[in-house]
Amino acid sequence: MSGLSVVGSFDSVFAQALAQTPLPGLPGAADRVLVVINFQGGNDGLNTVVPFGNPDYYRYRPSIGIPPSDVLRIDEAVGLNPNLAPFKRLYDAGKVAIVQGVGYPDPDHSHFRSTEIWQTATPKSYATTGWVGRYLDEAGLPKDNLFNGVALANVLPELMIAQNTDVPAIDALRGYGLNSDRNSGSRDAFHEFARDTTVPFRSPYLAHVAEIEDHAQRGAQELPKLVAGYKTQAAYPATALGRSLALAAQIVGSKLGTRVVYVQHGSFDTHVTQKQTQDRLLADFGSAIAAFYDDLAAHGNDGRVLTMTFSEFGRRVAENASRGTDHGEAAPVFLIGGGVKGGLYGDHPDLARLNMGNLAFTTDFRSVYATVLERWLGRPSLAIVGGAFPTLAALA
Amino acid sequence: MAASTIAPASYRPPGALDAARALEPYSGRWDHRLAAHLLRRAGFGGSPADVERLAAMPPSAAVESLVRFPDSSALPAAPAGLEVQPLPPRGLYRGFAQGMAADQSTVDARKAFQMQNNRTRRQNLIAMQTWWLERMISSPAPLQEKMTLFWHGHFTSSPEKQTTAQELLAQNQLFRAYALGNVRDLTLHVSQDPAMLRYLDNNVNVKAHPNENYARELMELFTLGIGNYTEQDIRESARAFTGWSFQREPDGSGRFVDHPYQHDDGTKTFLGRSGNFSGNDVVQIIFEQPAAARFFARKLLAFFVYDDPEPQLVDRVAALLGRSGFELLPVMATLLRSNVFFSERAYRALVKSPVEFVVGTHQLFGVAEVRLPELGALRAMGQTLFYPPNVKGWDGGSAWLNSQTVLTRENFANAVAQNPMMTQTADWLVPTLRTMDPQRIAATLTDALLQGDVSPAARAQLIAYLGGAGQAALSQLSGENVDQRVRAAAYLTMAMPAYQLE
């Protein structure tokens, strides 16, 4: 939890809106999964979706600009970073929507605050829950399912902090379990002790600790059994992202009732010699996401998994003297897979009209969330994103 | 399934604060339960003997014994065998940054160099983490190490930007030297610290191309907090820090260098004042802001007392900081001695961090050495020393607790209980073991590990697990089986929720 003070007004708006009638269910929405990939550290959008047709781009980036001949062309104005070849093939197959120029008003340039804004969807206040957490709370999912949401990370991201849903954070399947459970006596005793909160002291954390211990034991007992039958059928890169997406495909393919999976990738914080770092991370992303959809398709799951990427901000338009870029503003968001109507959405930010050296956003990030919530997960977005934002045609 | 209680809006303890008396010296009942509370917060928990020693003193003497650091010079001041990060052979990376193509032998040589480089980096990190954890476990001045940990999570730097182990070690020694020193002086030293200069890019902050990274984080995360400065203040103070850089020495350490020719000598307007300010001036002006005292007060309270402290309490601690001129020793002496610190609201009101959990368990079971797999366990619990997750440091509190981290904590506790030497190193357990009495063994375990903070039902169950109320039950088992029962009982005591709380 952040150390920032909590503003109550947002949560009460949220509580009121909860009382609204939900949208009628979308057909098939109950089987749908959202995978969210966080490009941590601020990915440079301009060298990801490259405006190679614009001479200003090369003027701002004399040494790190990507030459037109290297760009994987989408049209005569923009194309993809050359390290994204497998991802470009997904695009060419109509499986990728690129929403250009995504951001929010009065952008914050701090990693922490901007990450928090993207994850809580509250640029003007400090919420204690994440936007996915609020979805998990209000979607009417089975309360006894321990895997409604799963974070593939060793620390639970703010995005998945909920009021009433415990989201397990799983770093890797291996080692996910209590060693003492091999002995039935200690297994049963742990089960009782972890639930014993009738202690001679009060602590604001006590009930929370007890509940997490109970969930941890039960979840770890159940998860390996639930996913054991799954056979991975794609060659993932031997990287952290490759391993995370392989596990995500396994969870999706094992019918755990999981609705949202969180995956992280990075760090993209390329202040100095940007090219090496970004090239490596984008190449990793391209091959991992292609393997992920191959694996999903081999199990007939590709149509029910939508993947969304985000990053806390794009980067400054002009390169700095260290062949890097500083914290910026708007950047593209990718929507991949199920339900996607491939193509470019939103306007590419205008390089001739910068906001103090930064790209001005053309699509509010909450419009992207609203699109995913309403057109994919079949839930009203008003309360979750804290306002009425138009949805995009990027999803069917 | 228990009623769901996940993520309340705030983890501030229930009940009302008596603000007027909050910082007055505590004069209530003093026992080993409160002595253990003090030692968990001002240290890592210690052994039952350490707790008894504090409980036998008056509270004022107990606090004094912690804030006046005993001599810790007998401990190794640095890890043994740190290697100097190798430099690439001359010309190996010619044309690399420009993306120029290289022939196969050059590519192979680069790969070999990279592997050597990574191996050194990994070995050094292991040596550093082991050294510091063992220091925390064995230091006669636990609060010195606890404050070093506090500053490590506050003024964050990590090896992510190729910072050397020697530079991070120097930063760690700086935190230790200023553990309860002057916060303003420490902030100035941190601003000139090579690991920090590199981590937040001030080494490339020069007059012609100002880089705002350090100036921004200095105010946002290190001293004032959001809302107490403007974007313009960031740009102006970045100019004041231009030219502050460092030079790498042959032994891998860094030396602060102020390059006057890269310093912007123009007039800056910063937080309402104008002048040809240097980085030094910026630090002085920051600490003249009332927001600075409140910022550190809130952070100290959340780390040492309870989460989300009331504004009235923050203001009172901020006033102490103001009166002491940011000297921390008298402030911490007052805080650790206070009514609010020893109140029931503060008792076990915080979640142990992974480092506190691991170090405290070592102290309880008398194990001074840290082994390699424990470093991996700490990572899986979410805390890698010398590697904070981002410039904000570790979030702490409920963020420490999820299925993965709790499983790793329990498995770590199990491994400690199963260590073959445990029944000898935990010297407090030995005399009771000889009695073969389940009731006495259970009482010893719950006293040593939880100060008796256990429900009657759990106590009864632990006794039943050990073989029941009668002495006969354990006596009838083979020695091996008795040993296993006691180890499992020790583990199960650590599995009780209270053990996760400090």
Mean pLDDT of the region B69-74? 96
Give the residue from A110, A144, A156 with the most B CB atoms within 10 Å of its CB, the best one to mutate. Answer: A156
Residue A280, domain extent: 31-178+230-385
Q: Is residue A323 part of a domain?
A: yes
**Cα distance between residue B284 and residue B275, in whole Å:** 13
Mean pLDDT of the region B369-377? 94
Exposure string over B144-162, b if 16+ CB within 10 A, otherwise e:
bbbbbbbbbbbbbbbbeee
Three-state SS for B57-78 is CCHHHHHHHHHCCCCCCCCCCC
Q: Residue B204 in contact with residue A272, Cβ under 8 Å?
A: yes
- Cβ–Cβ below 8 Å for B410 and A6: no
Is the confidence at residue B122, as pLDDT, over 90? yes
Q: What pLDDT, on a 0 to 100 scale, did the predictor assign at position A7?
A: 32
Closest CA relative to residue A183, chosen from B445, B481, B421:
B481
Between B465 and B357, where is the model more confident? Answer: B357
List chain A residues with CB under 8 Å of B379. 154
Q: Which of A162-171, A290-299, B188-197, B214-223 has the lowest mean pLDDT?
A: A162-171
Give the residue from B31, B98, B356, B404 with the most A CB atoms within 10 Å of its CB, the best one to mutate. Answer: B404
Closest CA relative to residue A282, chosen from A98, A100, A88:
A88
Q: Residue A363 in contact with residue A99, Cβ under 8 Å?
A: yes
Chain B nearest C-alpha distance from A196 (Å): 7
Q: Which residue of B has its CA nearest to A175?
A: B408
Give the residue from A205, A206, A218, A327 with the most B CB atoms within 10 Å of its CB, the best one to mutate. Answer: A205
Tell the residue number behind the tokens 């070690």, with chain if given.
B169
Q: Which residue of B has its CA nearest to A267?
A: B160
**Cα distance between residue B316 and residue B19, in whole Å:** 8
List chain A residues with CB under 8 Å of B98. 63
pLDDT in tens, B295-333: 999 999 999 999 999 999 999 999 999 999 999 999 999
- Cβ–Cβ below 8 Å for A164 and B4: yes
Q: What pLDDT, on a 0 to 100 scale, did the predictor assign at position B220?
A: 93
Identify the band that residue A23 occupies on the pLDDT scale cut at 50, 70 and 90: very low
- Our measurement of the distance from residue B210's CA atom to the centroid of its chain's CA atoms, rounded to an integer in Å, reads 32
Instruction: Please name the residues in contact with A346: beta carbons below 8 A apart, sequence gap of 6 or more.
Output: A99, A100, A101, A102, A362, A363, A392
Between B478 and B119, where is the model more confident? Answer: B119
Is the confidence at residue A276, as pLDDT, over 50? yes
pLDDT in tens, B199-256: 999 999 999 999 999 999 999 999 999 999 999 999 999 999 999 999 999 999 999 9
Tell the residue number behind the tokens 């202040």, with chain if given.
A271
Is the confidence at residue A266, as pLDDT, over 50? yes
**Cα distance between residue A173 and residue A233, in whole Å:** 18
Most confident of A121-125, A354-358, B359-363: B359-363
pLDDT in tens, B46-71: 999 999 999 999 999 999 999 999 99
CA gyration radius for chain B?
25
- Cβ–Cβ below 8 Å for B226 and A113: yes
DSSP-derived letter for residue B327 is B
Identify the band that residue B17 occupies on the pLDDT scale cut at 50, 70 and 90: very high
Which ranges of A228-325 would DSSP assign to H, the alpha helix?
240-253, 274-298
pLDDT in tens, A222-260: 898 899 999 999 999 999 999 999 999 999 999 899 999
Q: What pLDDT, on a 0 to 100 scale, did the predictor assign at position B103?
A: 81
- Cβ–Cβ below 8 Å for B411 and A197: no
Q: Does B309 touch chain A (CB under 8 A)?
A: no
Query: Which tokens in the block code for residue A140?
Result: 């009417």
Give the ipTM of the model, two decimals please.
Answer: 0.92
Is the confidence at residue A27, as pLDDT, over 60? no
Q: Considering Cα of A55, then A59, then A65, then A70, what sign does the dihedral take? A: positive
- Cβ–Cβ below 8 Å for A1 and B404: no
Q: What pLDDT, on a 0 to 100 scale, did the predictor assign at position B5?
A: 41
Residue A264 belongs to domain with CATH number: 3.40.720.10
Identify the band that residue A271 occupies on the pLDDT scale cut at 50, 70 and 90: confident
Would you tell me which residues 403-442 of chain B have a C-beta closer than 8 angstroms to some C-beta of chain A?
A: 403-408, 410-411, 414-415
- DSSP per-residue string spanning B104-125: HHHHHHHHHHHHHHHHHHHHHH
Query: Which tokens in the block code for residue B483?
Result: 């040993």
How does the average pLDDT of chain B come out, rounded? 93
Query: Which tokens in the block code for residue B170?
Result: 């120097």
Q: Is residue A48 part of a domain?
A: yes
Strand order in the sheet with A79-80: A49-50, A79-80, A72-73
Is the confidence at residue A84, as pLDDT, over 70? yes
Q: What pLDDT, on a 0 to 100 scale, did the predictor assign at position A51?
A: 98
**Cα distance between residue B464 and residue B458, in whole Å:** 10
Is the confidence at residue A3, as pLDDT, over 50? no
Q: Residue B502 in contact with residue A205, Cβ under 8 Å?
A: no
Q: Is residue A348 part of a domain?
A: yes
Q: Which of A278-282, B1-5, B352-356, B480-484 has the lowest mean pLDDT?
A: B1-5
**Cα distance between residue A315 and residue A303, in whole Å:** 33
Which ranges of B245-367 would DSSP assign to H, the alpha helix?
279-288, 290-304, 311-323, 328-335, 339-342, 354-365
Mean pLDDT of the region B5-22? 82
Q: Is residue A313 part of a domain?
A: yes
- DSSP per-residue string spanning A321-369: TTS---B---EEEEEEETTB--EEESPPPPTTS-BTTBPPPSEEHHHHH
Separation in Å, CA B138 to CA B142, B147, B177, B357, B425: 8, 15, 18, 15, 14
**Among residues of chain A, what percentage have pLDDT more than 70?**
92
Mean pLDDT of the region A265-281? 90
Q: What pLDDT, on a 0 to 100 scale, did the predictor assign at position A281?
A: 97
Chain B nearest C-alpha distance from A63 (Å): 8
Q: How many CB atoms lie within 10 A of CB B269?
A: 12
Identify the band that residue A21 occupies on the pLDDT scale cut at 50, 70 and 90: very low
Q: What pLDDT, on a 0 to 100 scale, did the predictor assign at position B9?
A: 62
Q: Bridge partners of B256?
A: B246
Q: Bridge partners of B25?
A: B338
**Cα distance between residue B373 and residue B419, in whole Å:** 13
**Cα distance between residue A325 and residue A269, in whole Å:** 9
- Cβ–Cβ below 8 Å for B403 and A198: no
Identify the band that residue A5 occupies on the pLDDT scale cut at 50, 70 and 90: very low
Identify the band that residue B471 occupies on the pLDDT scale cut at 50, 70 and 90: low
Between B401 and B51, where is the model more confident? Answer: B51
Q: Name the domain count of chain A.
A: 1
Chain B nearest C-alpha distance from A104 (Å): 17
Is the confidence at residue A19, as pLDDT, over 50? no
Mean pLDDT of the region B116-120? 90
List chain A residues with CB under 8 Å of B350. 205
Query: Which tokens in the block code for residue A10?
Result: 């947002």
Between A183 and B346, where is the model more confident? Answer: B346
Q: What pLDDT, on a 0 to 100 scale, did the predictor assign at position A4?
A: 31
Closest CA relative to residue A212, chosen from B1, B493, B491:
B1
Query: Which tokens in the block code for residue A350?
Result: 């205008």
Identify the band that residue B191 occupies on the pLDDT scale cut at 50, 70 and 90: very high
- Cβ–Cβ below 8 Å for B1 and A214: yes
Mean pLDDT of the region A271-300? 95
Is the confidence at residue B417, as pLDDT, over 60? yes
Most confident of A200-214, A255-269, B85-99, B169-183: B169-183
Which ranges of B382-452 would DSSP assign to H, the alpha helix?
403-418, 422-425, 430-435, 438-450
pLDDT in tens, A303-344: 999 999 999 999 999 988 778 898 999 999 999 998 999 999
Identify the band that residue A268 occupies on the pLDDT scale cut at 50, 70 and 90: very high
Mean pLDDT of the region A28-49? 93
Chain B nearest C-alpha distance from A360 (Å): 17
**Among residues of chain B, what percentage have pLDDT more than 70?**
96
Q: What pLDDT, on a 0 to 100 scale, did the predictor assign at position B398?
A: 84
